[in-house]
């Protein structure tokens, strides 16, 4: 079942923070985050496994709450290069990744 991402779109000024949420109605084994810039291939950001871990990558971090079947992506002090569409992919009991519809992030100067 497709995870639900929120918000659908967000506009920031450079330096502002943002949170993108991903939730599922099914039990999750892992959550994957990808970013896709317009006209380009999706790029892997991080994988979060069961255990409620939090990961970080530069100023982008994420958390995974398996009990709530939710993950959140945190973008701190956003840069222009952060603009793009962020997808979460959730791994369920069928061991397949199902991607959400994406969150369009626009960072303006």
Q: In what order do the strands lie in the sheet with 70-75?
A: 4-6, 18-23, 70-75, 60-65, 54-57
Binding mask 24-43 for other proteins (x = CB under 8 A): -----xx-x-x-----xxxx
Residue count (the chain)? 109
87 binds other proteins (CB under 8 A): yes
99 binds other proteins (CB under 8 A): yes
45: which 2 tokens? 């950001």
**In contact, 64 and 49? CB cutoff 8 Å:** yes
44 binds other proteins (CB under 8 A): yes
Summarize as ranges the residues that interact with other proteins (CB under 8 A). 2, 29-30, 32, 34, 40-44, 47, 87, 89, 91, 95-102
């Amino acid at each position: 079942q497709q995870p639900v991402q929120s918000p659908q779109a967000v506009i920031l000024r450079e330096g502002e923070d943002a949170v993108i949420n991903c939730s599922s109605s099914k039990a999750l084994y892992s959550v994957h985050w990808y970013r896709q810039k317009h006209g380009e291939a999706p790029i892997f950001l991080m994988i979060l496994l069961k255990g409620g871990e939090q990961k970080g990558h530069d100023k982008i971090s994420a958390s995974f709450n398996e009990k709530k079947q939710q993950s959140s992506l945190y973008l701190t002090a956003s840069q222009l290069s952060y603009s793009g569409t962020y997808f979460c992919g959730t791994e369920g009991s069928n061991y397949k990744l199902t991607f959400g519809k994406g969150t369009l992030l626009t960072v303006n100067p």
